Structure 1
Amino acid sequence: MRATVVVFLLSAVIGAFTLVRAQQSSPEKQAGTLRADVNLVSVYFSVRDGKGRLVTDLGKDAFKVFEDGREQSISFFAHHSDVPLNVGVLLDTSTSLSRTLGLEAEAAGRFFDSVMRENDLGFLVSYASRIETLQVPTEDSHLLNQKAQTIRRNAKPDDLVLPPPRRQGRIQTFPFPVPVPPQTGPQPQDVRVARLYDAVGSSVDRFLSNEVGRKALVIVALADDARSNSSLRDALRTLKQNDVIAYVMEVEHAPAARGRDDCDILHIFNRDGGNRLDRLAEETGGRVIKVKGFDKMQEAFDQIAEELHQQYSLGYRPANQKWDGGFRKLEIKAGRDYRVSARDGYYATPR
């Protein structure tokens, strides 16, 4: 629990400016509120060069910001790697592979250790047929690492790695009979449940909607959403309304060596939702990282941590001061061959 800090700056001319930062024990309660300039639109973003390398040394004059095609005047600009970060990780546990769950747990735990600094908050959620909060927002990266390991309990009892086969001449045989499950009822491709969109919506609503500062969601996805009650549109709207940047780690490859415990997830790699996963990330200012196998997840987490430490921030007061709830397109441009990753717009909710 973080202590509540209330700062009052009094001025005889302009009245009062109030900053309230609060964190209650219940995650559903309001966690933070900032009221300084309600007409200011702020954007966190990152920049890469033509070779995909992060660019971290640009100044305000290097950027132009456009709203609905109209250039806006930048009111403030900063390199905000030291602004408190609120970050959540969503782990896809729709597989029962014990090794896969172990690799997910290990990579996520190390990510919190590397990305979190003083005053940062992290939380952890798993999703499959159920959405489970493994850890509510906390400053304790060690605790988050511990809670990440709990997804291993979802592994099925028969997640047993087969012993190496014995060779009899040219024929390989296993040292004991391998039971073949009956092919009755729905087949694997029909039973996978991974409520990705529901997990995004509930996580943002509960843990990020009342926070201030930088907000990010890292999603480990073995495939597209399966059987959420909400839609991609719902998830995108929730992310954009709350200024949350989404990063998606899309695991592309099935295990190279398949045994009995791999069979229940082979269908996962029939990818048909890549474009939807791309939209989740790119429209919110994040990106999709194609992970070439489960053992490469740590490398992907490291890339995301580096990017979160090297973000820029700018703010502007829109020329259009009609807060009618409509969606307004945003675009940030930089010179040369730089590529800016920023959310593509915001909702002009009444203020």
Structure 2
Amino acid sequence: MRVLVGALLGLVLVRGDLLSQAPVVRQPPPAVGAQAPKDPEDVQTPPAVATQTQTGGKANGSAGTPEGGFPTIRVETRLVNVALNVVDTKGSPVGGLEREDFQILEDGKLQKIAVFEKEATTPLSIVLAIDASESVMTSERLEKEAAKHFVRALLREQDELDLMEFSDVVRELVPFTNQPKRIESGLNAIQHGDATALYDAIYLASDRLAGTSAANGRRRVIVLITDGGDTVKGARYTQALEEAQRAGAMVYSIIIVPIYADAGRNTGGEHALIQLAEDTGGKYYYVVDPKDLEPAFAHVSDDLRTQYLLGYYAPRRGADSSFRQIKVRMTDAELKAKYDLRYRTGYYADAR
């Protein structure tokens, strides 16, 4: 059966009953080629883009005069949730810490921690984006089996997962669902391609996550399986990073390295994925042997299950679209020296 699927700039011909339902995701804003960051400024100060605002836990800002005659000033606030991983010097997760063990700052100013969970049980919205280029899909059976085991191990009733593939274009194979069988069917329908639209995939996965409900402290996650290359003229690295930060998405990269010491290896792409993980509070893993994919997925699952959740109310500053820096630190100097903290570095004030 042949159907026409709307593509980025035209029509893409796709075969198969399942793939006939897999739309090519809309194209990101045009840019002059995709590129990894060339200097720290590209990463630390992303450009601002106007988007629709959606806030959680806010009070409508207004000033009025009650019956007593005294004006009441209401300050509009938003609840900012920060998923936090604490590890020791060996990289093992550290549990048992309390609210008073942490301090959280926004733009250098101390904030009151209003929400605290020791082991975050909040719902997860996950986009699993798989690089379907020939350079990555070398052991297809092992890769698909590892992804299936990851989905079955991680997905709970309150969670949801969206499955995407990317090569020449980005396709959403399965929209958000918590049914493992639907996701497995999507994994079986992955098609290979020649190119790699990596930054388009990150941008569009973030866009999908931004549309999910932020209720109940929902955590948003992107899991990428890729070799780090980007060979399509689409979204640039800075656009992909900004969209991920606007969505509040943690990016976990499983980086496939078929030949570890290969001189032609795309180390620039790898470094971009590493920086993306660090800026969004995610993590990265290297996989040389396809058999190591399953342990890498297990690490991602464990990482998400051992997170703390911290939340604070940040005051609104009028029509503000700035990037606000977040810093979390240990209260005790001794603990500060013992443990490493991983969390997102900030958020956009006007983000959805």
TM-score of the aligned structures, taking structure 1 as reference length: 0.72
Query: Is the 1:113–1:142 Cα contact (8 Å) retained in structure 2?
Result: no
Query: Is the 2:321–2:350 Cα contact (8 Å) retained in structure 1?
Result: yes
The yes-or-no answer on 1:101 pairing with 2:135 is no
Give 1:41's aligned amino acid.
Answer: V
The yes-or-no answer on 1:317 pairing with 2:313 is yes
Query: Rg larger in 1 or in 2?
Result: 1
Q: CA deviation at 1:208?
A: 4.1
| Secondary structure of 2:114's aligned partner | strand
The aligned counterpart of 1:242 is 247
The aligned counterpart of 2:296 is 300
Q: Deviations over 1:169-218 (max 9, x none)?
A: xxxxxxxxxxxxxxxxxxxxxxx521111111112223443332111000
The aligned counterpart of 1:291 is 287
Query: Is the 2:106–2:325 Cα contact (8 Å) retained in structure 1?
Result: yes
Query: Is the 1:72–1:319 Cα contact (8 Å) retained in structure 2?
Result: no
The aligned counterpart of 1:36 is 57
Structure 1's 97 and 248: CA in aligned 2 closer, same or farther, altered over 3 A?
closer
The aligned counterpart of 2:340 is 339
The aligned counterpart of 1:348 is 349
Q: CA deviation at 1:41?
A: 1.6
Give the alignment of 1:67-78 within 5 angstroms: 67-78=106-117
The aligned counterpart of 1:185 is none
| Secondary structure of 1:315's aligned partner | strand
Q: 1:281 aligns with which of 263, 269, 277?
A: 277
Q: CA deviation at 1:290?
A: 1.4
Q: Deviations over 1:194-247 (max 9, x none)?
A: 111111111222344333211100001112322241111111111111111110
Give the alignment of 1:180-199 within 5 angstroms: 193-199=195-201
The aligned counterpart of 1:154 is 192
Q: CA deviation at 1:324?
A: 1.0
| Secondary structure of 1:269's aligned partner | coil
**Structure 2: unaligned runs, 5 residues or longer:** 1-22, 26-53, 59-76
Give the alignment of 1:215-226 within 5 angstroms: 215-226=220-231
Give 2:94's aligned amino acid.
Answer: V
Q: CA deviation at 1:318?
A: 2.8
The aligned counterpart of 1:115 is 154
Q: CA deviation at 1:304?
A: 0.2
Identity %, equivalent residues: 27
The aligned counterpart of 1:128 is 167
Query: Is the 1:330–1:345 Cα contact (8 Å) retained in structure 2?
Result: yes
Structure 1 residue runs of 4 or more that deviate by more than 6 Å after TM superposition:
none
| Secondary structure of 2:258's aligned partner | coil
Query: Is the 1:198–1:228 Cα contact (8 Å) retained in structure 2?
Result: no
Deviates more, 1:317-326 or 1:56-65: 317-326
Q: CA deviation at 1:54?
A: 0.9
Whole-Å Cα distance in 1 between the matches of residues 86 and 340 of structure 2?
A: 6
Whole-Å Cα distance in 2 between the matches of residues 132 and 117 of structure 1?
A: 24
Give 1:333's aligned amino acid.
Answer: R
The yes-or-no answer on 1:90 pairing with 2:129 is yes
Structure 1's 97 and 214: CA in aligned 2 closer, same or farther, altered over 3 A?
closer
The aligned counterpart of 1:54 is 93
Q: CA deviation at 1:100?
A: 2.1
**Structure 1: unaligned runs, 5 residues or longer:** 1-25, 156-191, 257-265
Whole-Å Cα distance in 2 between the matches of residues 350 and 122 of structure 1?
A: 22
| Secondary structure of 1:227's aligned partner | coil
Aligned residues: 276
Computed over aligned residues only, the root mean square deviation of the Cα atoms, in angstroms, reads 2.7
Q: CA deviation at 1:142?
A: 2.5
Whole-Å Cα distance in 2 between the matches of residues 59 and 97 of structure 1?
A: 42
Structure 1's 278 and 95: CA in aligned 2 closer, same or farther, altered over 3 A?
same
Query: Is the 2:224–2:253 Cα contact (8 Å) retained in structure 1?
Result: yes
Structure 1's 288 and 317: CA in aligned 2 closer, same or farther, altered over 3 A?
same
